[in-house]
Structure 1
Amino acid sequence: MKVAKKTKLIKKTSKTFLLTGLVLTVLSSIVLYFYTKSLLQDQVEESLYSTEARVVDALKNDQIVLSFPPITQLKKVQHIRPEILKDTIIYDPSQDEMEAFRELSTYKEIKGQIYKITVRNLVVESEDILVAIVFSNITIFVLAFLFLFFFNTTKNIKLWNPFFTNLEQMKKFSLSSNEEIQLVDSDVLEFSELKDEILLLTSKVKNDYENLKQFTENVSHEMQTPLAIIQAKIDNIINEHDINDKQFEQISSIQKDIQRLKHLNQRVTILTKIDNNQFVKVENVNITKLLKEKIENFKELEINYISLNSKNDLIASMDIYLADILINNLISNAIKHNFEEKDISITTENKTLVISNYGQNELLHPEKLFMRFYREVNSVQSSGLGLAILKKICDLYKFDLSYNFSENQHSFTLVFK
């Protein structure tokens, strides 16, 4: 589904106000145009009938009536015809050009003689008046709406200011911070109620966060003690009692499970801390130096098939503890899934780190690789939480982490932005 483009509240209300004003201005101008035109036309026609009545009165009183073309024309005719009222264009000697006139032609029988009385009035003058009125109306409307727009915008900004201020405070709100969220009150009831609800909600969320954090830390701490005790008791059994090969195999399996529980506990704790934004310390970490240290550590374990190709030091801004986990998990994953101890290559260039190890088969679902406890269908081992922790760390610092399989090489590419 296509997401609609987001618009700021003040901009949206102002845009709506201006569009409404524009529509009202256009509609009112159209209505005013036709209404004024009708009034002017009625006025012109009333003037024509008035002039025609004066001519008739003059004829009835035996006064001499002269024609003043094109305004007034008097003509004797033989027959009475219907009255004619129309617009026409005729030559105006005073202007020496063709002009538009409103024309009234009537036929009157006065003292036994039939007269055709034609009176005209210039339409141009009425049109000029009409245009002036409409233009004045548009000007007044535009000025009024501009004034109201700026006045309304200023009032809206002042009215919504508590809302925007509280919104900015909510954006800065952090569960890991000890500072209380600072909200401003408003004389608008809804904004005031919103402020109270936000304070109540943030307080509850913070309490729940602290309880969850404390619970996770307590569980992690409490698990370490019994695991250490179990490990110590198993060591005592091995050292103080004679055991056969089968018992030794079973005890060794228990030790492996204990170690796995310890690692699982540590990794769950790390994931929880990352989710809770507890790693807030950021410093420039020399990734290249860290890689060299890790490679030397693995060489002490007789893992001598890791090579590093780096021209310049790769520096990343992050928590140094998480950087150590990030590099350790990447190399450990490559060693764990490497085939027949073939070469593992590590390359750094600019802001990019690539770790590649040999593999016979491509992953069936690479898009699920960074999911917690994801397991390939044909694999007896789970990817555990190592890659999930990698993804979490990269998401925390906006690093790009991707996987690719090409020419029997499993490659993880990490771009430090």
Structure 2
Amino acid sequence: MRRMKLLTKTTVYFLLIMLPVFTAGAFYLFHKFNKEIKHETDEELVNDQLEWLRYLDTAHIDNPIFRFNTQEFQLTPTDKPVQKKYKLKGVHLYQETEDAQAPFRELSQVISIHGQNYQMVLRKSMIEKDDLLKNIIHVMLIAFGGLLCFVVISNWFISRNMWRPFYRSLDKIRQLQLNKMETPDFPQTPTHEFNQLNEALNQMTARIHQDYINMKELTEDAAHEMQTPLAITQSKLELLLQDENLSEEQLKNIGQTSEELQRLSRLNHNLLLLAKIENQQYPFTERPDLHQVIAKYLSLFEELIREKELNIETSLVPTAPWPLHPALADIMISNLLGNAIKYNYPEGHIQITLTTNTFTISNTSSLPEIPAANVFQRFKKNDQGYSNSNGLGLAIVKKIGESYHIRISYQYRNGLHIFTASC
């Protein structure tokens, strides 16, 4: 669903409200003008009738029967009874000069003159008045249209000026980067509501920034404080393993403890790495060539590949600069390639494809498909038989993708586990 900007939405709503109001106002004025013109014409007809009645009442002629027949005045004898009240109505009559039916207002009444009943009909042409009404409506529509345009444009400029502090605050929020170790300042505005908003934003960003600093310090302190005792403990265990007086059972237990300690060290390292990625402590400064990174780790894993007798197929473009921090590019490739080797079976296959914006690695494995809900979640891979794993490798890859707008996806097809990264 396409969403409109607030200013556009306000203008559209304003138009939706004002157009019916202006239209109703135009119709009202039209009918009002039309009614007034008809009323004035009817008054003229009544006055003309009074003048004719005075004239006919005082006329001295030998023949008491009158007969007049013109388009605007008719007086003809009739047997109809005298009418106390005249009748007014609109009629259309043919006019030779216009060669068309023309509108008239008509007054008719049966009167008595010298004892003889006559049908008196007076008419007034409405052509000029209709033209006048059309001209008035034309001018009125132009005035209303101009007024509407002026109001809409004025409203748009006023609204844009009023909402400018909001958009400035919005731009500052969009440009906010916690890793730059600075807090934005949202200034005072002439509008009370925007001042309240900016004050709330200042408080919120200050809290977020302080939480970020605390988290960053905790991450750095944990990395230092935890790795040191782990390294010391690991060193002590290695010394114990060299003691010839230990029994085989003791050596076995110490060896298992050492392995778990190494696993704990890797877990600590990976959790700290995830925290650093989430805190955006790896700013994007350059584009590492993914071709060189893949070649480097193929060389580093060469012994493992040879040990399992894996068949490696590659299709790589000569250069593929990706929008990644160099250290995270190494981690992404080493995790994906390491998993493809580690969980493969002897004499299995690995296929690597690299284009300018897509990296795909697929591998055979005796392990089943990873459920879509679990594939990138932390600590979920052990449930599927992935031994000696802390379940963070793919989670780290996914988090790297999210931080640098790289889409990471997983498929299982024809016995192959396929991971794809697209930028």
1:410 maps to which residue?
417
- 2:273 aligned with 1:266, yes or no? no
1:344 maps to which residue?
350
2:381 maps to which residue?
375
Change (3 A) 1:295 1:79: closer
In structure 2, C-alpha distance between the alignment counterparts of 1:256 and 1:149, rounded to whole Å: 74
In structure 1, C-alpha distance between the alignment counterparts of 2:54 and 2:107, rounded to whole Å: 17
Equivalent of 2:144, from 136, 141, 145?
141
1:99 maps to which residue?
102
2:73 maps to which residue?
72
Are 2:367 and 2:385, in contact at CA under 8 Å, matched by a contact in 1?
Answer: no
Are 2:110 and 2:119, in contact at CA under 8 Å, matched by a contact in 1?
Answer: yes
2:224 maps to which residue?
221
In structure 2, C-alpha distance between the alignment counterparts of 1:13 and 1:155, rounded to whole Å: 12
Change (3 A) 1:80 1:368: same
By how many angstroms is 1:257 displaced? 0.7
By how many angstroms is 1:361 displaced? 5.1
In structure 1, C-alpha distance between the alignment counterparts of 2:311 and 2:296, rounded to whole Å: 12
By how many angstroms is 1:369 displaced? 0.6
Percentage of pairs with the same residue: 29
Equivalent of 1:114, from 117, 126, 130?
117
Equivalent of 1:326, from 332, 336, 340?
332
Give 3-state SS (helix, strand or coil) of 2:348's partner: coil
- 2:12 aligned with 1:7, yes or no? no
Deviations 1:124-165 (A, max 9, x none): 233222222222222111112222222232222222222211
Please give the residue correspondences for 1:29-48 in structure 2 after superposition, counting only pairs within 5 Å.
29-48=26-45
By how many angstroms is 1:365 displaced? 1.3
More displaced stretch, 195-204 vs 324-333: 195-204
Are 1:330 and 1:355, in contact at CA under 8 Å, matched by a contact in 2?
Answer: yes
Equivalent of 1:305, from 306, 310, 326?
310
In structure 1, C-alpha distance between the alignment counterparts of 2:100 and 2:178, rounded to whole Å: 85
Deviations 1:266-308 (A, max 9, x none): 1111111111111103312122222222122222455452525
Are 2:382 and 2:391, in contact at CA under 8 Å, matched by a contact in 1?
Answer: no
TM-score computed with the length of structure 1 as normaliser:
0.91
2:405 maps to which residue?
398
In structure 2, C-alpha distance between the alignment counterparts of 1:7 and 1:330, rounded to whole Å: 42
Are 2:165 and 2:189, in contact at CA under 8 Å, matched by a contact in 1?
Answer: yes
More displaced stretch, 99-108 vs 271-280: 99-108
Change (3 A) 1:375 1:298: closer
Change (3 A) 1:380 1:311: closer
In structure 2, C-alpha distance between the alignment counterparts of 1:308 and 1:380, rounded to whole Å: 24
1:168 maps to which residue?
171
Change (3 A) 1:24 1:221: same
Change (3 A) 1:385 1:306: farther
Deviations 1:143-194 (A, max 9, x none): 1222222223222222222221121111101111123314332111111222
Q: Match of 1:305, as an amino acid? A: L
Q: Which runs of 5+ in 1 are unaligned?
A: none
Are 2:367 and 2:384, in contact at CA under 8 Å, matched by a contact in 1?
Answer: no
In structure 1, C-alpha distance between the alignment counterparts of 2:167 and 2:118, rounded to whole Å: 81
Give 3-state SS (helix, strand or coil) of 2:381's partner: coil
TM-score computed with the length of structure 2 as normaliser:
0.90
In structure 2, C-alpha distance between the alignment counterparts of 1:333 and 1:96, rounded to whole Å: 96
Are 1:359 and 1:408, in contact at CA under 8 Å, matched by a contact in 2?
Answer: yes
Change (3 A) 1:63 1:208: farther
Are 2:350 and 2:363, in contact at CA under 8 Å, matched by a contact in 1?
Answer: yes
Deviations 1:172-230 (A, max 9, x none): 01111123314332111111222222111111110111112212222232211221222
Are 1:165 and 1:184, in contact at CA under 8 Å, matched by a contact in 2?
Answer: no
Give 3-state SS (helix, strand or coil) of 1:100's partner: strand
Moved over 6 A (4+): 63-66
Are 1:84 and 1:106, in contact at CA under 8 Å, matched by a contact in 2?
Answer: yes
Change (3 A) 1:266 1:40: same
Are 2:321 and 2:356, in contact at CA under 8 Å, matched by a contact in 1?
Answer: no
Change (3 A) 1:360 1:239: closer
By how many angstroms is 1:355 displaced? 1.7
In structure 1, C-alpha distance between the alignment counterparts of 2:160 and 2:356, rounded to whole Å: 47
Please give the residue correspondences for 1:130-209 in structure 2 after superposition, counting only pairs within 5 Å.
130-209=133-212
In structure 2, C-alpha distance between the alignment counterparts of 1:91 and 1:39, rounded to whole Å: 25
Deviations 1:88-145 (A, max 9, x none): 2223355555322221110111331212111011132332222222222221111122
1:55 maps to which residue?
52
By how many angstroms is 1:263 displaced? 0.6
By how many angstroms is 1:383 displaced? 6.3
Are 1:361 and 1:408, in contact at CA under 8 Å, matched by a contact in 2?
Answer: no
Are 1:344 and 1:356, in contact at CA under 8 Å, matched by a contact in 2?
Answer: yes
In structure 2, C-alpha distance between the alignment counterparts of 1:299 and 1:364, rounded to whole Å: 26
